[in-house]
Chain A
């Protein structure tokens, strides 16, 4: 038996994502010990900082540009980040624009992740203090400049909409005072506003800054980059994960008009051409043989069977790691009876399937690298590019563009597609830009999937009907294992988060929760809301089954457990969602409820569901979220709407299968995604809060699946043990 483990201890023993990045820098070699991590990762960088610091630029006409260290790929973070600055600066919001920061880990690291990286729904939360201080600091410099010029005390000067005024009638714009303000030493200590006096933050004026460009075709994505002399490349990849190139015949490919060169790179065979269409025709004409000795040749049926066997304790070689063990659960293994609930769940591999397939533009001239693309993890991409060409990571220049979605796909420890582009650009050389284009088929078959995952849960109810003992087994693949991280104690949190820390486990006196993460040759990655994509489903759908077993109402059942666990924020979102949903469902529809905390925010949803020809249809979805201070209520609503669609798409249809190691799906014909005629109507309500802001991009995704399953349970009395709800035979 394992000794009881305190989950809090496990968390501190778990290597943070910061450690991971630092380790990755060290693996890069040729770098010196004794530098700080930020020095190490930004070594060679030549980014310049203006008078108002790395986040604010002010033009001679007074126009304010906020520099975003985070990529914008739909989350609305550019609007939120700019609003934080504009609020403290008292800038004219209508004239504020947003610019993407260059790559520099020293200036632009994510405070939560230790590298320039957008992820974990942390863009707003990690920037909150930093940008408030930046805005307040710049404001203080203008006020000081006006005070000097007008010879009046700073306390008598007010600022509104980029204009400074004094009671005497004196008035000046940011533009008027720019030269003087830029000479004022940046204050070391600034006073931030009392949140009660916010006029922009929390208002419906905080709207997207990119809606026009994204509605008239001028927004610039990687796919749209056109540079002088640029070549376009596509790559022939092996059909199975882990296969290698054996040989290739480029004879026919090189005959295709427009094809410039065909050559081997570590990930396959690159076809470089004058344009995309020629590159694709060239690849079609290519003859390649693959060495599949070390390839993963199993299908998902076999992998799932293995995971079920492990979960059922039938595989003695399985390596279990505890993530919550308390009290005495002995006897539960063999227990049967009216007080026992047992459930197993299976979740498939999922592709992110962003609208813009993966792509990158790079040029390499000697050891000089320039990349132009939707970089989500600039520091990781710099490190990986630096390894390929042999330069300092900070000297890898990255211009970050809008990306057509990511949902986690664009940040990985290998920088897979970006590294592939750098390899090609290095071979082309002479600083000639190369655009790597992945087709939809390349993108969908490249892996980095949400891991296939199995849960097995067995719960004994006490005499009061609430959980007395809870045994939980998770079998998945480790996302962090493929990373160059130091071996740490405790399991990979990305596989257990959401079960670990669940208020339901906290409210249960005896718990034995463990995870096994076998090695499978299919690359896996975070996928919008990561562990919660499966843990939220298991915890929330299990709770409704427990309530049914106990003969209790699922709402009251949750309330009692939240009270036991001290989960006040769960209670608050639950109450708000129920109040807004009203007493009864729309006639003909059945309600299901789910509540889940992820990325610091708690979301409750009441979903109205009906079955049409055996297929679940979701109508009204009432959502309540506690995400701390709401910067942009409109964009929080947008993320709840979109996050719900993304989660519902996966729950209804999402499934990547493999046959003999080959991915069966390659495009939207067989990887079905949610369309407008299947989309729910999401209403969003925000719990008033004075807490610092927490995540918004991901927490809306994992709740809808279990809410639908709970509605179906109420409707059909049958629990759901496997996703997606709608399965098409491969």
Chain B
């Protein structure tokens, strides 16, 4: 029995049993591997996708529960979403494995809150673990994406200064 899901704006027929978690349908059946498996019990946020714009954990969401809701995955953001651009400008990723989930949580936050405070960011992002500890760059990139707003063009000439200021990092020496 096939179910039809709305994934990134496309009606998509899937064969998996209705109780199958959305995560495994996305990854194994549809080959959309940007959404990651981290814990399998909604503890780490690596599998975060949007359901009608709300961030949810796809590892514990059976496809039967998705119904007609619109699913948006990291692939659906298109690669140049303001949050993704901010992520690149700040060199947020280290190992990178959690970042799809981080970006999905951050983009959902910014869609609802154009100017999130530190507290807003904490409460929206506390469900997403980053074992590399890129948290302060995540925070800086969210604020940056909020400041720069929707689609950005070329990187700013003064971007390094902006990054240094936003991340609190300062560089000295450099071996000369």
A interface residues with partner B (beta carbon < 8 Å): 73-76, 195-196, 198, 201-204, 207-208, 210-219, 221, 223-224, 226, 232, 257, 275-277, 353-357, 402-407, 437, 439-441, 580, 628-631, 633-635, 637-638, 641-646, 649, 667-669, 673-677, 679-690
A675 to chain B, nearest CB (A): 5
Chain B residues closer than 8 Å to A646, beta-carbon distance = 131-133
Q: Are A277 and B20 in contact (CB under 8 A)?
A: yes
Given the interface pairs A216-B79, A355-B97, A403-B95, the reply to whether A690 lies near B137 with Cβ below 8 Å is no
CB-contacts of B74-113 with A (<8 A): 74-75, 77-79, 84, 87-88, 91-100, 103
A-B contact pairs, 19 of them (CB 8 A): A202-B173, A215-B79, A216-B34, A217-B100, A218-B34, A224-B33, A356-B97, A405-B97, A405-B131, A439-B40, A630-B174, A641-B135, A641-B167, A642-B132, A646-B132, A674-B133, A681-B136, A686-B173, A690-B176
A404–B122 Cα distance when bound, in Å, is 23
Q: Are A211 and B88 in contact (CB under 8 A)?
A: yes
6 closest A-B pairs by CB: A217-B34, A645-B133, A404-B97, A202-B174, A214-B96, A688-B173
Chain A residues closer than 8 Å to B34, beta-carbon distance = 216-218
Q: Is B29 an interface residue (CB 8 A)?
A: yes
List the count of A-B residue pairs having beta carbons below 8 Å apart: 249
Q: Are A223 and B169 in contact (CB under 8 A)?
A: no
B88 to chain A, nearest CB (A): 5
A60 to chain B, nearest CB (A): 27
Q: Are B84 and A277 in contact (CB under 8 A)?
A: no
Given the interface pairs A353-B131, A439-B40, A686-B172, the reply to whether A74 lies near B95 with Cβ below 8 Å is yes
A677–B121 Cα distance when bound, in Å, is 8
| Cross-interface CB contact of A677 among B126, B131, B163, cutoff 8 Å | B126
A670 to chain B, nearest CB (A): 10
Chain A residues closer than 8 Å to B28, beta-carbon distance = 232, 275-277
Q: Are A76 and B172 in contact (CB under 8 A)?
A: no
Besides A404-B98, A673-B131, A676-B138, 6 other A-B contacts (C-beta < 8 A): A203-B174, A215-B96, A217-B73, A634-B171, A645-B135, A675-B127
A334 to chain B, nearest CB (A): 45
Chain A residues closer than 8 Å to B163, beta-carbon distance = 204, 634
Given the interface pairs A223-B33, A276-B28, A642-B134, the reply to whether A685 lies near B172 with Cβ below 8 Å is yes
Q: Are A682 and B174 in contact (CB under 8 A)?
A: no
B24 to chain A, nearest CB (A): 4
Chain B residues closer than 8 Å to A217, beta-carbon distance = 32-35, 73-75, 100
A210–B88 Cα distance when bound, in Å, is 9
User: Interface readout for B142-176 with A: 1 if CB under 8 Å, 0 if not?
Assistant: 00000000000000000010011001111111111
Chain A residues closer than 8 Å to B87, beta-carbon distance = 211, 215
Q: Are B136 and A679 in contact (CB under 8 A)?
A: yes
Q: Are B171 and A204 in contact (CB under 8 A)?
A: yes
B interface residues with partner A (beta carbon < 8 Å): 16-17, 20-21, 24, 27-29, 31-41, 43-44, 46, 73-75, 77-79, 84, 87-88, 91-100, 103, 121-123, 125-139, 160, 163-164, 167-176
B175 to chain A, nearest CB (A): 3
Q: Are A356 and B169 in contact (CB under 8 A)?
A: no
Q: Are B74 and A216 in contact (CB under 8 A)?
A: yes
Looking at chain A's contact residues, is the secondary structure mostly helix, strand, loop, or mixed?
A: loop
A439–B43 Cα distance when bound, in Å, is 13
Given the interface pairs A204-B171, A630-B173, A688-B172, the reply to whether A405 lies near B41 with Cβ below 8 Å is no
A198–B175 Cα distance when bound, in Å, is 9
Q: Are B171 and A669 in contact (CB under 8 A)?
A: no
Chain A residues closer than 8 Å to B171, beta-carbon distance = 204, 630, 633-634, 637, 684, 686
Q: Are A211 and B93 in contact (CB under 8 A)?
A: yes
Closest B residue to A354 by beta carbon equals B131
Q: Are A75 and B94 in contact (CB under 8 A)?
A: yes
Q: Are A276 and B24 in contact (CB under 8 A)?
A: yes
| Cross-interface CB contact of B137 among A404, A406, A638, cutoff 8 Å | A638
B71 to chain A, nearest CB (A): 14
| Cross-interface CB contact of A277 among B21, B73, B133, B172, cutoff 8 Å | B21
Q: Are B95 and A405 in contact (CB under 8 A)?
A: yes
B173 to chain A, nearest CB (A): 3
Q: Are B44 and A276 in contact (CB under 8 A)?
A: no
Closest B residue to A637 by beta carbon equals B169
Closest A residue to B171 by beta carbon equals A633
Chain A residues closer than 8 Å to B17, beta-carbon distance = 257
Chain A residues closer than 8 Å to B126, beta-carbon distance = 675-677
A73–B97 Cα distance when bound, in Å, is 9
Chain B residues closer than 8 Å to A630, beta-carbon distance = 171, 173-175
A327–B129 Cα distance when bound, in Å, is 49
A357 to chain B, nearest CB (A): 8
